[in-house]
Amino acid sequence: MNQQYDVIVLGAGAAGLMCAIEAGKRGRRVLVLERADRIGKKILISGGGRCNFTNLHTTPENFLSSNPHFAKSALARYTPADFIRLVEKHGILYHEKKLGQLFCDRAASDITAMLEQECRDAQVEIRCNSKIEAVHNDASGTGLTPSGQFIVQVQTHSDSAEMRFIAPHLVVATGGLSIAKIGATSFGYDLARQFGLNIVSPRPALVPLAFTERDRRRWCDLAGVSCEVTASVAATKKKRASFRENMLFTHQGISGPAILQISSYRDGKQAICLDLAADRDLMAELHAFDHRDQASWKSVVREILPRRFADRWLETYPPAGNSDRAFMDAARQLHEWEINPETTEGYGKAEVTAGGINTDELSAKTMESRKVPGLFFVGEVVDVTGQLGGFNFQWAWASGFCAGQAL
């Protein structure tokens, strides 16, 4: 039997639920189909279980996309203040951790409970355990016409029964490829290809970096050691991306906020420059010693870096003598440590997927496909990727909201 709706949303994550709520509030009959056994699994594990649900300082510059202007309209129409109002309406307690990052005081489940309640209030129907078998635009599955209906064929996990749902509007909110074990699939990209839409090649972003074998042997027994750095990389021919945050050694290479941020801007080949002594004038510090020698240099380095890292650094990069020149070179090395990670730790560890549905294919106002009327893409599946710090959820809420207003 075919069941008719006004809107079918594929994926009950942040973007899909926000879109469903807004469309439901506008009186649309909305069905959300979710493959997993519950909604918002990624929300539940986000922000270390506390969900960094937005960032007070959100601007379009916090996002990466082939078209840097695309996100502007949606981010302006649905702001962090709008989401904070929703959170406060539900009495959810939250705090700013740092740099405008807002987290739940209690647990991320406060956010999923809030979204679930909003869905109930807007009479949105949610069906979990729904594996989508196929999507067609009409009964025969041939080319789409503006007046066409989308037919979604679904297999329910519970009884393996096959069901068909029909609607004139289909919203794809199935996220990216990050963390397959909690339900990430390539479904959104596959569907876009099925309808002839272009995709910017997906790649892991906000992801730890893995060293070459040689660097692993040299540094990775320091796993667990962290320090503040300024990490930078040539983001474009003209512009360097730069982040001052913590870096952490891991068993594979390096991670920590500074490295996750910079990973999104690296095409896999450029060297990363780490300033391990940002804002410090090392030569001046050295001049404060009566004698400039290896011992005074050791004191300076030990004051800047954690002890084990400092000692490894001194073994690896000893000054070539006691001349000013030698110390200047040693200081430069500390300010400009160039590293060339071999690869990333992949989608299994990536917080997001960069790339996705090419924004040229979509209306920036509604997220609707330009080629296929009635077909919408929202959230991470679109080629808009936020920096670390609550920006990815803000994009999910904003893009979901804009599509919901257009349905």
Ligand X SMILES: Cc1cc2nc3c(=O)[nH]c(=O)nc-3n(C[C@H](O)[C@H](O)[C@H](O)COP(=O)(O)OP(=O)(O)OC[C@H]3O[C@@H](n4cnc5c(N)ncnc54)[C@H](O)[C@@H]3O)c2cc1C
Q: Which residues bind ligand X (CB under 6 A)?
A: 10-16, 33-36, 41-42, 45-47, 51-52, 132, 173-175, 178-179, 183, 185, 187, 351-352, 379-380, 390-393, 396
Residue 199's CB is within 10 A of a number of other CB atoms, namely 17
Assigned token pair, 224: 């667990």
| Pick 129 or 299: Cβ nearer ligand X | 129
Residues shown for the chain: 407
* CA–CA dist 172, 191 (Å, integer): 9
Residue 389's CB is within 10 A of a number of other CB atoms, namely 26
Helical residues (DSSP H) of 256-379, grouped into ranges: 257-263, 282-287, 294-304, 307-316, 324-335
In 98-222, which ranges are E strands? 101-104, 125-127, 130-136, 150-156, 162-167, 169-172, 199-205, 209-210
- Write the CB contacts of 236 (distance below 8 Å, at least 6 apart in sequence): none
| Pick 18 or 225: Cβ nearer ligand X | 18
> Least distance (Å) from ligand X to the CB of residue 385?
8
| Pick 296 or 369: Cβ nearer ligand X | 369
> Least distance (Å) from ligand X to the CB of residue 220?
22
Q: Which residue is nearest to ligand X (CB)?
A: 13
> Least distance (Å) from ligand X to the CB of residue 103?
8
* CA–CA dist 317, 263 (Å, integer): 25
> Least distance (Å) from ligand X to the CB of residue 70?
15
In our burial notation (b when 16+ CB lie closer than 10 A, e otherwise), range 39-55 reads bbbbbbebbeebbbbbb
| Pick 56 or 234: Cβ nearer ligand X | 56
> Least distance (Å) from ligand X to the CB of residue 248?
16
Assigned token pair, 228: 């503040």
| Pick 108 or 233: Cβ nearer ligand X | 108
Q: Are 126 and 12 in contact (CB under 8 A)?
A: yes
| Pick 189 or 219: Cβ nearer ligand X | 189
Strands 7-10 and 30-33: parallel
| Pick 15 or 227: Cβ nearer ligand X | 15
Closest CA to 22 of 99, 121, 138, 129: 121
> Least distance (Å) from ligand X to the CB of residue 171?
11
**Is residue 405 classed as helix, strand or coil in its secondary structure?**
helix
Residue 15's CB is within 10 A of a number of other CB atoms, namely 33
* CA–CA dist 20, 170 (Å, integer): 11
| Pick 35 or 292: Cβ nearer ligand X | 35
| Pick 154 or 273: Cβ nearer ligand X | 154
